[in-house]
Structure 1
């Protein structure tokens, strides 16, 4: 079935020996586009409204993004399979990771009540807008949230379907399932932390980072790629695990910094969402730990202040958000977090030093470790 998936993608040029990152991403994008076109046609034949629903899902999947999860999975596979191994049979598995990622993003945006993602309206805002435009009855925001949840669910089902089209040993499914469970577990801990920030700590914020981000962004994709090669060994699995955990945590720590200090025009997301909701990120937990009593008082939100209602009322003013960001800087937490990022990148690179993988993959993973943890978005 893998060949069926790729027939429409052949003209895009499947990358082989010495492929550039752009060629790989192009192939992944083409695989997704071909798969989604068939899914849209199937749902459109049932009812035009379902076709519109599916096209919205497609647009969210193909709206851009760094495609990090497929890229890490590719180099995890390439490191063992080698440059001569054909990519076509395993490409659907790499593309499936983007569908799972869309599932996670759409649900995360609903939980955080975010307005934008990748510079575009989030799924629930898109559906709320459709509700208003069509002058339907009922609450537009409720319809938007419900529809977005279903979009996320659909993307998760699609991810399973696309993964099944890859030529993959049974152990691949075990890594994939573990990755999904860890991502959902991390997301629940993230939600729980927002409801009891006073009970949170730097250590617990890092636990969330390991499960919500590191696992499904770097660690498990790498190990899934290894499993796809059919040549698993304990040394490589251990090296990928250590590298993935360290670089994945560093990736999330950078995200914490961008959530407060990032430029929305670059990140594609609103500034200060974490501050507005009181999310107990590692940055905020570290700031509270390092803060003077006066600074800690400024960083503490009362329950009403931590809420960002759907109608836009309440919450912190822009000036208050700016002040909180300034206080966090004054505690020294951002500089400390930068040090933690550097330590984790170094640990991740060191884990690859003796791993029995091809040199081109080692070099690519070292470059990725630096690039994804020093990004502007």
Structure 2
């Protein structure tokens, strides 16, 4: 083994050992993430779309079980309790059984824009509000996979992976078997693995065969998702940072696009190239028999620091140039988000790392941003769109 390879292997081993050590501290005692999220009556009622009084009344009448209590007598609810309450009260949040999941790609080629962090936080937000979510990590770097407490290297000998499904050389064809559980009861994940990079090469090799082989390689992910699209409300795609065959698969599978853009000049300018590239590649997909037409495209300003004059200027420029595509709220830069991700968590899984006021401000900001995304998602289903028969949450009588 050469000096270079040996050095890189040693560094990798040392980093993996340190990562595992950090996890034993963060997730002790078993070094695995567990959800210890609880909600008081006010927050629980808000999440299920009721008032605290209505919740208490349903409990008093026996329609709901009595809530858990702390030693001081304060009532609280778990995430599982919220799911059971929705079922007991006939509260249906997502799509109807005959409708398809919204497939949303969170994409930008520029590094450091917060793509994986947004994917993780959006998934948790949607799950808190009662949606069934599937996250598909299509990035070989596997940042989103790691935040859901799955280590990519544990999948090396696993034949039932996304890489195996996408590879034209593989005989594995059951997409549903790539789906794994997460600590969240209503979030599933198709994790990334090292085999995804091999799948990229295998997909690219179909160029030599041309015609039908290329069309099949471009539609592989779309076909896989089609087999589970009735089982989820929202499917979130975390794409690779470049537009190869993996990226084209993501673009072909998505039905909506969310583009994170920090309020910085270089990021803004690079996004011009990104959007042009996306348009070019959609034309390539269509020329190869894979039509693409997104139900919505939205730009979200990420990691925004309003105290920085330069970023305020860029925010105004973004408002002027992105017009109706820009979400009304930017995602504010926050140490709370940084601290949470360092602990392999989202804000929605974490306790305040600084003052409670700072934590609340950060969470309220994310709720406002993702609330806008949620409305775009609901517009894609005829049962919940403003032009459909039911513009709100369906509730049994």
TM bin (shorter chain): under 0.3
Could you say which structure has the higher helix fraction? 1
Structure having the larger proportion of residues in strand: 2
Question: Structure 2 length normalisation: TM-score?
Answer: 0.23
